Amino acid sequence: MTMTKPRLVGLTVLALLAFAANSLLCRMALQQRSIDPASFGTLRLAAGALVLGLMARGQPRAPRDGWAALALFAYVACFSFAYLSLAAGTGALILFACVQLTMFGAGLRAGERFATAGWLGLLLALGGLVWLVAPGLAAPEPLAAALMAAAGLAWGLYSLRGRRAAGPALVVSAGNFLLALPPALLLSALWWPQRHAEPAGVLLALASGGLSSGLGYVVWYAALPGLPALRAATVQLAVPPLAALGGVLLLGEAMTPRLLLASAAILGGIGLVLLGRGRASQ
């Protein structure tokens, strides 16, 4: 059955809001010091595994992918620790840029070639990312920026593994979340002396895992059949601005000129790359 346009738009917007909410929920919990980052990540994975597992009930089982689960764990752990000091919008921008750059790098390695506009866009995005994290008064904390960049790399690798996954995306994701839990529990055990978890922090972590991650992926998978690949990649450009706007409105974070200009360079550059890839494929 063909999906109606209003339904497609509604599902897409809802999924993008869920992805932006992940940054806001994590930053809110850690900014208030209501939970430690290791516990936040573990609860997020547990809630995501539960919701995705319930949604995937009755579907055929899919082969487990240990490497994908390890990449998912690395993403969640680095993401959580990075938000100890990063603003929501800055973190989302670094994450998104590194995810896309990882995917572009994999495409180049596989023999994909960009048009001239694509190469210019890649240089513009890289330049914007370097400028954003370069030392200066408005630069993010270096270790936090490096952790978020590592989270972006891990999520990019996880996405690449997902392209080759055998089985329904929902079932595969549920299995990956479940397999990522043991290393997350190990990290929580190692972090035990610094462990703290207030009810508010626990609720935010469960909301991040069960709603923004679990249900967010379900909604995104429902929207994907109606989105061409290029459009699906392009609409995700909205996630960092949504996270930045949410950080300003809900968390009282500042929207600095450096963040605005770097956002324009990174998102504009990625848009050029996507446009170049679309024309090349046509």
Q: Where are the alpha helices (DSSP H) in the chain?
A: 5-31, 37-55, 66-82, 88-109, 116-133, 142-163, 169-190, 199-207, 216-223, 229-235, 239-251, 257-281
Model pLDDT for residues 144-200, shown as the tens digit of each residue: 999 999 999 999 898 888 777 767 888 888 999 999 999 999 999 999 899 899 999
CA–CA separation, 206 and 49 (whole Å): 11
Q: What is the pLDDT of residues 44-96, one digit of tens each?
A: 999 999 999 998 888 888 788 899 999 999 999 999 999 999 989 889 989 98
| Mean pLDDT across the chain | 87
